[in-house]
A and B are shown apart, each in its own frame.
Chain A
Amino acid sequence: MGRRGRRKARVAGITALVPPELIYAAGWRPLDINNWIPGSDARPRSKLCAWTASWREAILGGELKLDALVVVAGGDCHNALADGQVAARNVGRTHYFFYPFDGDAGYMEGQLRALEGFLGEGLRGERAHDRAMRALEEVAAAKRLGLRLEALRSAGRADPGSTFDALISFSDLEGDPARFGGKVERLIDASRDFRGTEGPGVALIGVPPIYRDFHRACAEAGLRVVFDELPYEFLRLGGHDLRSLARSYSTYTFARPVEFRLGLLKRELSRRKVRGIIHYAQFTCHHLLEDGLLREELDLPMLTVQGDLPGRTPAQVRLRLEAFGELLGAGKGAI
């Protein structure tokens, strides 16, 4: 399908990660309905988590217009499921998508088929086939570029803030994988002029911060983010047909038991020689309950940051980041 056709594609809102490959392959455009929130000053009413309440309000208020909504009902949280059901009242069609907790790839494949059915057209059918193959290749190509950018950032050769902004958009590839790939390529080119960052390398784990300048606040506190957990999942997962997509997405760590997630984290943290961890969670988020377990298992200094409403990183959070930077610096005898 050419550019012109794609511009007309119907928009499927996604509440959390839903394989964008499949949505593009079906001729739709995915829209991660979370991605606009940090840049806004949304103040949703009757909220638990400001992420879900903000998109719920935006959908109900008509500011977010969707042709369909795909709610991640298994493998995300109940706040998202509840707000998704409320928001669904203002969207023509809604589909509920489930990740397998036990990683069963057969089950995952069934879910992908159900999603394909919901979207109407998928990887099958002769007319659709070419378009689907092209979409899969475009997404895969963009993800390869994303992995390159991610590696540059981890090596301190690309700006962590703008890298994060790009990586977090891999959940929907900004509605056009080819154009988005070009954007990532330009970031890779621009990294040649990047002067490099200093300070202890830290990993940002948990859900993405709701603050738009969080990575800048980290850098100002002398912390060099070398790993962003969730965006890395967006890049890591993919495939070239239904079966390989199912195999890959059934390993989505956030939907699996915490031990499984810990296995991947341990590998990635040691590979990147991380000195400390920032664990971000919304203060109403069930992921906070995992904090103790993560601290015990990951055996690295950890700072837990609890966020609430979108906006700039608050002074108290900045203080914690700065203190964490000093503490990690202290580990090598700076003070």
Chain B
Amino acid sequence: MAAGRAFVGIDAGSTAAKLVRFDGRRVVRSRMVPARDWHSLVGTVRPREAVCTTGYFRRKVPHHLTLTEISAARLGVARSFPDAEVIIDLGGQDTKVTDLRNLTLQMNDRCSAGTGAFLEQAARYFGMSVEGLSRMAERARDRVDINSTCSVFAQSEMISMLERGARREEVAAGLHHALARRIAELVPDAERIVAIGGVARNRSMLFALGAILGRRLRVPPEPQMVNALGAALHAVAHSSQS
């Protein structure tokens, strides 16, 4: 590895773009912008920095190396949890589950019912942010059961429950539980499960998912930056190989 050289990981996702600069030992900078502003991240890259991109638009962003977000997650998670068995990447548009013990992948990309977009739709209905919806769910003493697995039907179910007098907090808790149930279907049984991605910052979601799986989920610092970190680490590994 070239001494003093920095390594940049850019995660060009479908909702946000993230950059992590790694100096070979530690993260020296991390930044997140809306997906459409990825150019502003590229503008901060200095000559001689090795750039590895990941995420949905990884090939669009100028790079030396690219890596799928699934492999980037594996590398990024290993830094905080080298003994992780399963990674759940809770993204805005899809959910990916990697079983590191046998390298199997499961993804929920077919419909929004198993992704963060499900909560965004619900939050919009309540006229609040996703964080606000999560805080509201935390205040619930009980939760209603939302049975529809389709996000459109779940929304109608939610509205009719509110009309029948269900408390908003309990409906919010029910929504988090419905999403968690959907995600849990993809997760194999394991002791050491790590959650990453933007939705991993949502405490109500983690609580519901942990309860269904019967495990306490581990969450690295800045879970939404893990893939960008993994990409930067890949650049490091590549430079030491070459």
Contact = CB atoms under 8 A, between A and B. Distances in A.
Please determine whether chains A and B interact with each other in the same assembly. yes
A287 interface: no
Given A316-B109, A335-B234, A335-B237, A302 B68 contact: no
A335 B102 CA distance: 16
A301 B94 CA distance: 21
Main secondary structure of the interface of A (DSSP, over half): helix
A330 interface: yes
Nearest to B109: A316
B234 A320 contact: no
B68 A331 contact: no
B110 interface: yes
Contacts of B56: 319
B106 A304 contact: yes
A299 B68 CA distance: 24
A283 B110 contact: yes
Given A283-B110, A316-B109, A335-B237, A302 B104 contact: yes
B3 interface: no
A301 B237 contact: no
A327 interface: yes
Interface string A294-335: 010001111110100000000010011011101110110001
B71 interface: yes
Query: For chain B, what secondary structure do more than half of its interface residues adopt (helix, strand, loop), or is it mixed?
Result: mixed
A297 B202 CA distance: 36
B70 interface: yes
Among B75, B104, B106: residue with most chain A CB under 10 A: B104
A290 B103 CA distance: 19
A276 interface: yes
Contact of B110 (A306, A328, A335): A306
A324 B68 CA distance: 9
B237 A327 contact: no
B109 A327 contact: no
Interface in B117-165: none
B70 A301 contact: no
Contacts of B234: 335
A324 B105 contact: yes
Interface string B46-76: 0000000000100000000001111100110
Interface of A: 276, 283, 295, 299-304, 306, 316, 319-320, 322-324, 326-328, 330-331, 335
**What 10 A-B pairs have minimum CB-CB distances, sorted nearest first?**
A323-B70, A301-B103, A323-B68, A326-B71, A327-B103, A316-B109, A322-B68, A302-B104, A301-B102, A303-B105
